[in-house]
Amino acid sequence: MAHAIQSNIRKMKKQQIKALPILTCLVLACLLKGRSQTIVLPQGLDLMRRSQLAGLTDSTISGTLNMLEVPVATLDSIAPYKSKNNGILFQQDNNKVQLLPVQLTQQVNLKLPYAWNIAPMIPAKGYQALLSPGVYAQFGKHITVQVSPQLVYAANPDYLNAPKEFVPVEWSTYSHWTNTIDMPEHFGGKNYVHLYPGQSSIRYNTGKISIGVSTENMWWGPGTYNALILSNNAPGFLHGTINTIKPIETGIGSFEGQVIAGKLDNTSYPSPGEYAVYNGAFLNDPKFNQWRYMTGMIVTWQPKWVKHLSLGIAKASYQYHSKLTSPLDFLPLQGFFGKAVTRSEKEGSKASMGSLFVRYWMPSEKAEIYIEYGRGDRSLMPTGIFQDHQYPRAYVMGIRKLFDNRDGSHIQLLLELCQMQLPTGDLTMNNPQSWYTHSYVRQGYTQDGRVLGAGIGPGSNSQTLEVSWIKGSKKLGVKLERYLHNNDLYYYTFSYIQDYTRKWVDLSTTFNAEWNYKQFVFSGNLGFIRALDYQWQVLRTDGNEKFYRGYDVFHLNGTVSAAFRF
């Protein structure tokens, strides 16, 4: 036995040596790190990306790493505002204390929860508000502190949830699937009030390296509306981080990157299937209530031979903290060795996913194209990603073009597709394991009840088209979207009746606007949504009918946000 263990250790060391070039590139990517005060605006990602194409911000960055963070200096250049002291409360030598913009976001959902990527708001009907002040401090040449908490209030009234008319076999399959992820339909039965640490961090900067502890949201990948690994759909979680904000020039091109390790929290609200009862007995075992350890990494590379081309890899894994059995479990390396190397990987108690992505932007044409392709619980290497089709996979692809208009404005055309649904019927109907769900870590890939990646959620697909007028930070536009809810759950639950007509689809038209006036930055949208076959429900009017008319709901969503700069 001892000889076998030593042999395995020697093999692991050889595999680690093979992985050293990858890790070396990642470490090199952390050598040009600077840090300044930042603000996360609801429109921040789109603002930074389109401003880059319009030539208002740095055209050399990849645009795939933490573009949610808008440096206050960059915001001042895009939306000019003259201030007497820029909110500075104290400044002497290398010491400074400065107020960050105060943000207030308000949302109303008329009948049903709608909207995502507004962390840390919850999916809720009715009125909801998010208030976030902030302060930034610099102590000497090396230490920076940013405190930007987020206070959420939601009226959170009852609304129509999963239908009670499900027959027993439907309840059995429905509850089994929903018990593989921590996604409550309703966050309690009363007003929701919660204070989050928000976009806060403590960092030590030396030279061009920054190491810190943070609860900030992160956005990984090239997507505009959806990201496979990390987005701002869920509240930020406590994590340690090493990351870059500027490209690192090398002999083969420039690099950007980030490595994180953090703690994912569970909700206290049950998922729909967690306590499902039939004939006086629970249909499923309740989830193991333990926080999860998460680790992830992203590396992007801009080859020197092709200008404005960014190639990247992103990776994340998570497991219950009591299942951490090896030093390798603490690192985001699952899949790099080509096979399971730790006990948790061999036992299936560790979940993993990853993606490869490419973004090509053309500043002279004011256009970009991008794609992110990922798979779950398999080797992440390029030869493995496209090797077969019997695995959970997802992708995001999009194209954006700015057309020159008079007075320095542009007309923006943006199209994005996101596919989260399992690719084959066998995977869907035989104990499905979708993106963000897991049969062992049954909270799935979530933080406080919300998915950390694509906001549309597991098993869902979306097609989005937006046309807008933009000038600097100003924008007026309309977005058309088709949102297919969780087709994995649908097929798993209803395939036995062979009724493939009751798919839950939201068709929405959303008018949006962004504007700045003096020290204010405004954004808002008004959406008209028609939910077809809501919650996969049908109106049973005749027992002899093969197909039934669906239960359709028309409702409104409105969001208004304002940031006040000192």
Q: What confidence tier does 4 reach under pLDDT thresholds 50, 70, 90?
A: very low
What pLDDT is attached to residue 544? 55
Q: What confidence tier does 414 reach under pLDDT thresholds 50, 70, 90?
A: very high
**Strand 461-471 and strand 410-419: pairing?**
antiparallel
What pLDDT is attached to residue 346? 81
For 229-264, what is each residue's pLDDT tens digit? 999 999 999 999 998 877 888 999 999 999 999 999
For 117-139, what is each residue's pLDDT tens digit? 998 999 999 999 999 999 999 99
What pLDDT is attached to residue 203? 92
**Strand 239-243 and strand 192-196: pairing?**
unpaired
Measured distance CA(543)–CA(540) in Å, rounded? 7
Higher local confidence (pLDDT), 496 or 404 = 404
Q: Which residues contact 178 (CB under 8 A, 6 or more apart)?
A: 271, 272, 273, 274, 489
The one-letter code for the residue type at 411 is: I
Higher local confidence (pLDDT), 304 or 210 = 304
Measured distance CA(87)–CA(89) in Å, rounded? 6
* Number of CB atoms found within 10 A of residue 519's CB: 15
List the CATH code of the domain at 29-564. 2.40.160.130
What pLDDT is attached to residue 108? 97
What pLDDT is attached to residue 17? 36
Highest mean pLDDT: which range of 85-99, 153-167, 268-282, 395-409: 395-409
pLDDT at 428 over 90: no
Measured distance CA(393)–CA(422) in Å, rounded? 6
For 294-308, what is each residue's pLDDT tens digit? 999 999 999 999 999
pLDDT at 30 over 70: no
pLDDT at 538 over 90: no
Higher local confidence (pLDDT), 470 or 205 = 470
Question: What's the DSSP call for residue 381?
Answer: S
Summarize the confidence of residues 171-185 as an average pLDDT.
84
pLDDT at 401 over 60: yes
What pLDDT is attached to residue 27? 34
What pLDDT is attached to residue 554? 95
pLDDT at 151 over 60: yes
Q: Where are the domains of the chain?
A: 29-564
Q: What confidence tier does 282 reach under pLDDT thresholds 50, 70, 90?
A: low
Lowest-confidence segment of 91-95, 176-180, 499-503 by average pLDDT: 499-503
For 551-564, what is each residue's pLDDT tens digit? 899 999 999 999 99
pLDDT at 384 over 80: no
Lowest-confidence segment of 16-25, 87-96, 520-529 by average pLDDT: 16-25
Summarize the confidence of residues 72-90 as an average pLDDT.
81
pLDDT at 10 over 90: no
Helix (H) or strand (E) holding 175: helix 168-178
What pLDDT is attached to residue 273? 63
Higher local confidence (pLDDT), 541 or 194 = 194
The residues with which 148 forms a beta bridge, in sequence order, are: 198
- For 112, 155, 245, 525, the CA distances from 107, given in Å and listed in that order, are 12, 11, 32, 9
What pLDDT is attached to residue 143? 92
- For 164, 545, 548, the CA distances from 541, given in Å and listed in that order, are 17, 8, 7
> Phi and psi for 77 in degrees, rounded to 5?
-75, -30
Summarize the confidence of residues 347-375 as an average pLDDT.
92
Place of tokens 């320095």: 408
Q: What confidence tier does 144 reach under pLDDT thresholds 50, 70, 90?
A: very high
pLDDT at 31 over 60: no
Q: What confidence tier does 365 reach under pLDDT thresholds 50, 70, 90?
A: very high
Place of tokens 């007509």: 501
Q: What confidence tier does 545 reach under pLDDT thresholds 50, 70, 90?
A: low
What pLDDT is attached to residue 527? 97
Summarize the confidence of residues 202-224 as an average pLDDT.
89
Largest CA distance in the chain: 82
User: In the numeric block, which tokens belong to residue 132?
Assistant: 């976030």
pLDDT at 378 over 90: no
pLDDT at 448 over 80: yes
